[in-house]
Amino acid sequence: MIDFRPVLFVNGFLLLVLAAAMGIPAVVDLLSDDVDWKVFALSAMTTAFFAMALVFGARPKGRASLTSRQAFMVPVVAWTLTAGFAALPFVFSNLRLGPVDALFEAMSGLTTTGATVIVGLDRAPKGILIWRALLNWLGGEGIIIMAVVILPLLRIGGMQVFRMESSDKSDKIKPRITQVAASITLIYAGFTGLAAVAFWAAGMSRFDAVCHALAAVSTGGFSTSDSNLAHWGTAVQWVAVFAMMVGGSSFTLWTGPWKNWRPKVLDDAQTHWYLMFLGAFAGVLALWQWAVNDMTPGVALRHAAFSVTSVVTTTGFVSTNYGAWGGFAHVVFFVLLFIGGCTGSAAGGVKIFRWELLFALAGIHLKRLLHPHGVFVIHYNQRPIIPQVLDSVLGFVVMYFFTFSVFAVALTMVGVDLITALSGSASALGNVGPGIGGTIGPMGSYRSLPDAAKVILASEMVLGRLELFTVAVLFSRSYWRE
């Protein structure tokens, strides 16, 4: 029988962090003379009460440690439990969202998906706006730490390549989590601060700058306006492009040692592929807009770079309605929904690292057709990739597209049209936010979808965020056996 106490103990501390975070929108609303500060204060006290109950009631004897089986359960319980408590302010605030809408909004925020059911953001209380941005930021940091600490040890989707050399080789999860978390949080907060200053210098108010910095670096995509980044001008949109690019890069490499004032991230093969994807697709779409839709070169490049970066990094910010760019652009953006950012970032999707290995594997198969007796080895950053990693990557990609298909079919069964179902499933699984079409497109909203569809999409957000197998393994009979 699995001991649940360490799992609940860890989640108790996570709820304490969430409760403390609720104090920020409470103060913002209090300073703005908005009565919703009471909602956040009460939600914080309720969350803190349950958190303390878990911390003291489930405290294990001796030093707390997690086995690999318990480590599978921690992120699943964490994202489910925190989303439930994070939804409280949405239910009891002046927005008066229903339970399903509130849970959808909270889950979208914590998984950094950025899909929203709220209409009227320009008139929404500041407390709610900063709370949505904080959910993005907290969820993004949690995702990065999970990708660096837990997933490599659990050998999910080829992540064992990024296993820290200092990690314990036994089945106990005992990496230097304190040092890792501290360094990631420091660089994460530093980039957020720089982004906020840049947004403010580009023309945003201080409040909007902070909210968008929190959402951009976390690749969350929650904005303070229904028009999203189209509400602001050229300078703000270019700042957002670079902030999203940083958010989609590997934070573990930013925290690594610099050589000759050059960050390690610039020498990483994954970063090169990442920039290549962004540059190639942005260039193609900019050329399309200039040649076919008569957009001036500067404007075409800005909107193409912004939109491609937003989708590839799974941020979901919008600078213009790219849904009106025509069928070619629709197909391109649908493909981009499956790309994703770098491993070790807050971005979702399949991830650049896996695509790099898949293309290398395809190249190896072509070489074997010409040289049947040849010996070919796939390398990543000058290191050979063992077959177990390739098997893990292939298994993940197959599972990814199978899950996308199943949830797309499920959405059509509850009354969602085909285009919305396909793009909605891809967007939720990749934690992108906007889909394609008039309903959930770049200028649309998920509000009009039936409640059943919102529950399906929220579930898919968690699956995509936790790399599928972390959740799927809990439904395995062998997981529960001794």
Q: Is 46 annotated as a binding residue?
A: no
Segment 8-58, tens digit of pLDDT:
888 999 999 999 999 999 999 999 999 999 999 999 999 999 999 999 988
pLDDT above 80 (res 481): no
Q: Which of 134-143, 252-261, 473-482 has the highest mean pLDDT?
A: 134-143
> What per-residue confidence (pLDDT) applies to 173?
38
**Three-state SS for 476?**
coil
pLDDT above 60 (res 128): yes
Question: What does the alpha-carbon distance between residue 99 and residue 91 come to, in Å, rounded to a whole number?
Answer: 6
Question: What does the alpha-carbon distance between residue 64 and residue 3 come to, in Å, rounded to a whole number?
Answer: 12
Read off the tokens for 14. Answer: 């996570």
Query: What is the share, in percent, of the chain residues with pLDDT greater than 70?
Result: 93
| HSE, side-chain direction, 13 A CA sphere, residue 455 | 8
Q: Is 112 annotated as a binding residue?
A: yes
CB 354 within 8 A of CB 396: yes
pLDDT above 50 (res 167): no
Q: Is 315 annotated as a binding residue?
A: yes
> What per-residue confidence (pLDDT) applies to 320?
93
Read off the tokens for 306. Answer: 């912004």
Question: What does the alpha-carbon distance between residue 43 and residue 416 come to, in Å, rounded to a whole number?
Answer: 34
CB 201 within 8 A of CB 215: no
Name residue 251's beta-bridge partners: none
Question: What does the alpha-carbon distance between residue 221 and residue 315 come to, in Å, rounded to a whole number?
Answer: 5
Question: What does the alpha-carbon distance between residue 88 and residue 34 come to, in Å, rounded to a whole number?
Answer: 17
Read off the tokens for 215. Answer: 């959402």
pLDDT above 50 (res 175): no
Question: What does the alpha-carbon distance between residue 146 and residue 112 come to, in Å, rounded to a whole number?
Answer: 14
Q: Across residues 353-373, what is the average pLDDT?
A: 90
Q: Is 296 annotated as a binding residue?
A: no
Question: What does the alpha-carbon distance between residue 217 and residue 228 come to, in Å, rounded to a whole number?
Answer: 16
pLDDT above 90 (res 190): yes
> What per-residue confidence (pLDDT) applies to 174?
41
For the chain, what's the residue count? 482
- Which residue, among 185, 112, 138, has the nearest Cα to 348 in the 3D structure? 112
pLDDT above 70 (res 339): yes
pLDDT above 60 (res 241): yes
| φ/ψ (deg, to 5) at 343 | -70, 140
Rg of the chain in Å (alpha carbons): 22
User: In degrees, to the nearest 5, what angle opens at C-alpha 431 toward C-alphas 426 and 436?
Assistant: 45
Q: Answer positive or negative: Cα dihedral of 384, 389, 390, 391.
A: positive
* Residues 6 or more apart in contact with residue 454 via CB below 8 angstroms: 100, 101, 104, 117, 446
The amino acid that residue 269 corresponds to is: A
Question: What does the alpha-carbon distance between residue 438 and residue 430 come to, in Å, rounded to a whole number?
Answer: 20
pLDDT above 50 (res 166): no
Q: Is 293 annotated as a binding residue?
A: no
Question: What does the alpha-carbon distance between residue 53 and residue 287 come to, in Å, rounded to a whole number?
Answer: 58
H or E stretch at 66: strand 66-67
- Residue 279 banded pLDDT, cuts 50, 70, 90: very high
Question: What does the alpha-carbon distance between residue 339 and residue 281 come to, in Å, rounded to a whole number?
Answer: 11
What distances in angstroms separate CA 223 from CA 130, 174, 183, 372, one per listed residue? Answer: 10, 38, 27, 54
